[in-house]
Amino acid sequence: MRSQLHNLELVYPPISNQEAEWLKSDLEVIERLKQSNLYFIAQKPESKFDFANDVVQKIEDDKIIEFSYSSGDSTTFGSINIIELLNYQNIDISDIDDFEIEIGDKLIRIWKIRKESKEILDWFTTEKILHDLGRSKPFIHGMNDFRKFTKYNLHYIGISKKDDSFKRLIIKPHDKRLRILSNEHPLSTGSRVTDEMIMFFFKIYTLEFKQILVSSDFDEIGKTELEDEIRIIADAEKAFVNVLNANYNEIKFKDYPYSKDGLFKTSVDRYAFSINDDLEFLTDDNTIYGERQDKLGQSESDFISINKEANLVELVKIRK
């Protein structure tokens, strides 16, 4: 018996629709986003940084950037330790002549200055700092309640079979992206939908298990070749659309798990999809909770379970 676990992982931190316009000519960003063929479009109240009046003095004295982080009616507090950031990147502070720091309600950016050169040390948008917290970056402190800021109202799930997600969603005109911008209302007073609309670019990583239940299962021993990646991506789209029923997905795949281009016609018997990032997506019908695996590979992520023989599709929730 063949069983597979498919984990959705972000190839790049989530970006707002506005940020996508700023980043679409950045070659480094483009190369990262091109790794994705599966994307989500969602919305949450606009997020912002805020800083105390003495933030500059604190940076000069202690090399620490303190801030508050707000979204909707919720606020939390955190800080970035620049010395610990250098240590994390294996940079000796004696090799740095100076720092240059930009702070704003949407972006924190740190440059390292050496003689005549100036290079980015690191940067943090309001979504990237949540992304880094989910990966336990040791130089970010506070924000212990950051998971309450990683809940998103899911509008649309899409794939790109011929191109990558970057071309499909950012470069080419995308009907659902434009319709969401046109039809949805801001969740926060004074905000724009373009700042609240967040895009997620996923790549799927697969782990396969083989169980020897009948004599014919011995034929599978030693075989390691997985299905075509596009076939897995196509099935993932159908699974998430079928279970979550996002409003802008007009085709609901009601016959799922049956499909011509997914995993139904392969020799995989049971499989599951989960989100290996600290994200939670909500629709009118359902929610799915993702959690980054720890060093032992454990997490409390919900997962969509598919049993082809029983024609059963089920959203399994681990957390009590």
Could you state, in order of their start, the residue ranges of all structural domains in the chain?
Answer: 2-45+150-316, 47-148
Average pLDDT over residues 264-274: 93
pLDDT confidence tier of residue 213, bands split at 50, 70 and 90: low
Cβ atoms of residues 260 and 249 within 8 Å: no
* Higher-pLDDT residue of 181, 320: 181
Cβ atoms of residues 76 and 58 within 8 Å: no
Look at residue 214 in the predicted model and tell me its pLDDT: 52
Instruction: Please give the single-letter amino acid code of residue 34.
Output: K
Whether the pTM exceeds 0.85: the reply is yes
pLDDT confidence tier of residue 215, bands split at 50, 70 and 90: low
pLDDT at 218 over 60: no
Average pLDDT over residues 220-242: 82
Average pLDDT over residues 102-110: 96
pLDDT at 228 over 90: no
Nearest 5°: the CA angle 187, 151, 27 is: 90
pLDDT at 172 over 90: no
Closest Cα partner for 129 from 142, 120, 119? 142
pLDDT at 49 over 90: yes
pLDDT in tens, 4-13: 999 999 999 9
* Higher-pLDDT residue of 191, 223: 191
Average pLDDT over residues 281-288: 96
pLDDT at 51 over 80: yes
* Higher-pLDDT residue of 210, 77: 77
Look at residue 26 in the predicted model and tell me its pLDDT: 86
Closest Cα partner for 79 from 142, 18, 32? 142
pLDDT confidence tier of residue 312, bands split at 50, 70 and 90: very high
Q: What is the mean pLDDT of the chain?
A: 91
Closest Cα partner for 263 from 218, 314, 308? 308
